Amino acid sequence: MLTMKQQIISKPRIILPNEKIDLNKWAVIACDQFTSPNETYWQKVESYVGKDPSTLNLIFPEYYLKDKQNIENRINTIHKNMDDYLTQGVIEDRISENYFIYTRRTLSNGKIRQGLVALLDLEAYSYTKGDKPAIRPTEGIVEERLPIRMKIREGAPLEYPHILMLVDDPERTLIEPLGKNLSAHTKLYDFDLMMGGGHAEGYAVTSQELENTIFSCIEKFGDPRAFSVKHGLEEIEPAIVLATGDGNHSLASAKAVWEKTKNSLMGENKQWENNPARYAMAEIINVYDDALEFEAIHRVLFNVGDVEIFLEKMRVFYKNLGSECEVEPIELKTNNFAEITNEKNQPENYQVFWLSYIKNGVQIFSTAKVKPGIHSITVGSLQMFLDDYLKSNQNATIDYLHGIETTVRDSSKEGNIGFFLPAIDKGGLFKTVAREGVTPRKTFSMGDAETKAYYIMGRSIV
């Protein structure tokens, strides 16, 4: 029987670029950011990096998924680049030991977000509906989004993850003690990130005492009784030790690849328990970290057509489910959105989101009130309608955007509609997942796009 520490996390054996590499060009932001067709972010990164070594050459920015004819070629190029970087010595096993990694990320607002890089045991994770493992997703997994991610991982000798996990630790016992004495660790990197991403530091946790504390904290978080009492559950439920904060589909893809790998090994009567593909590397962040802010992920529908016809379809959808939807134009400056799109300001007896669209050449902002909500949270009530609408309107497409300004921008073309949502309370996330299961996809973001994970460290998965 595996122990708790083996079931949940273990120490990674990381690889880093050699000391001659410019880390500012090496580290790029998570591939699922800046996906809007109106963005120029990734073109700017390409221009800045040029031909220098960079993780840009090891990932698939999702902005380019629209270039369907070139997907296969891009994946093959990623695999070749990984092989080349290994054989050419661009990346190295510089510390030659397995260590937890303590991270410090200075955000553009000056706040410092702390993290712990570890291996997650995929045997302790499941995205199957109804399962209650120690490591859980926070949003529903869309199976159609997995094949490309799986194909990238299946043929890759390395993983460069952007997965951010959350731990529910209000007493700040797991990660925060690691930052009290940086001299107790071995510094691995310390540099400014490109494109306004702030600053990144990484330290190998070489102290046996601190390592033991990490394992004991994880074991404590796995206590079902303490977890159930903490969150007011009616019965004793399996604890959520770690919940996915960002990279839900990347972790699900790693799980799917591992299940294929394990089944193949078992079918050949080969040892599978210690296979490196069993694990996925991720950064763990305390949901109570003062620098961590939950932001809403907004939506834009493209090619909707006549806005009045669309709004009527929305009203009919909610009416058929026993609810009302009132849409009223409002006079609003976009800089006021941050104040009103706050879950704490939501009324108790109905749900509110906001719309932006062009009518008679003028950009209109409206408030939509759903009475009563058809889901426990506002984003769920909206997403149910959007999913239904997209099924019967093949010309329309959707994008999920960080930031009010980009949503205003992308809804400023006739035929497009933007939807602005309130941010959820981060302190209630674990309770919500424990009680109701996963949230709707793209419910929240761990900060704005610039605060996301940057690819710096990698790991062998073969």
pLDDT tens for 186-220 read 999 999 999 999 999 999 999 999 999 999 999 99
Decide if pLDDT at 445 tops 90: no
Residues 283 and 410 in one domain: no
pLDDT at 2: 41
Higher-confidence residue of 126 and 428: namely 126
Task: Let me know whether 227 and 92 are in one domain.
Answer: yes
CB of 295 closer than 8 Å to CB of 443: no
Strands in 289-396 per DSSP E? 294-302, 324-330, 351-359, 362-371
Structure token pair of residue 71: 């997907």
CATH of the domain at 326: 3.30.1760.10
**Same domain, residue pair 183 and 315:** no
Between CA 33 and CA 143, with CA 426 as vertex, the angle to 5 degrees is 50
Overall average pLDDT of the 275-290 stretch? 97
Confidence at residue 447, expressed as pLDDT on a 0 to 100 scale:
81
Using left for φ > 0, alpha for ψ between -120 and 50, and beta otherwise, residue 246 falls in beta
Burial 90-115 (b: 16+ CB within 10 A, else e): bbeeebeeebbbbbbbbbeeebebbb
C-alpha 2/C-alpha 8 separation (Å) is 10
Which DSSP symbol is given to 20?
T
Classify 206 as helix, strand or coil. Answer: coil
Strand partners, 220: none
State yes or no: pLDDT of 345 exceeds 70.
no
Asked whether residue 442 carries a pLDDT value surpassing 90, the answer given is no
Using the structure block, give the residue that is written with the tokens 């296969």: 72
> Which one-letter amino acid corresponds to residue 418?
G
> In this structure, what token pair is assigned to residue 21?
């590499």
pLDDT computed for residue 332 by the predictor = 64
- What percent of the chain is helix, strand and coil (3-state, nearest 5)? 35, 25, 35
Give yes or no for residue 236 having a pLDDT over 90.
yes
The three-class DSSP label of residue 154 is helix
| Tokens 């045997």, located at residue | 123
Clarify whether residues 269 and 329 are in a common domain: no
Average pLDDT value for residue range 349-370: 92
Looking at the structure, tell me whether residues 264 and 379 fall in a common domain.
no
| In a shared domain, residues 237 and 247 | yes
Mean model confidence pLDDT for the chain? 92
Is there a single domain that holds both residue 280 and residue 188?
A: yes
Does residue 347 carry a pLDDT above 80? no
239-253 pLDDT, tens digit per residue, is 999 999 999 999 999
Residues 355 and 286 in one domain: no
Amino acid 446: pLDDT: 85
**pLDDT band at 341; cut points 50, 70, 90:** low
Please check whether residues 287 and 396 belong to one and the same domain: no
pTM of the model: 0.85
Q: Is the pLDDT confidence value at 289 over 80?
A: yes
CB 377, CB 369: distance < 8 Å:
no
Cβ-contact 277, 257 below 8 angstroms: yes
Report the C-alpha gap between 443 and 245 in whole angstroms.
10
Task: Give the count of domains, the chain.
Answer: 2
Q: Is residue 265 domain-shared with residue 364, that is, in the same domain?
A: no
Q: Please name the residues in contact with 153: beta carbons below 8 A apart, sequence gap of 6 or more.
A: 159, 253, 254, 257, 461
Token pair, residue 425, equals 């309370």
Residue 56 domain boundaries: 4-292+449-460
For residue 5, pLDDT over 50 is answered with no
Q: Are residues 305 and 279 in the same domain?
A: no
Q: What is the pLDDT of residue 448?
A: 81
Both 35 and 86 in one domain: the answer is yes
For 91-111, the three-class secondary structure string (H helix, E strand, C coil) is EECCCCCCCCEEEEEECCCCC
Give residue 111's pLDDT: 95
Count of Cβ atoms closer than 10 Å to residue 205 Cβ: 22
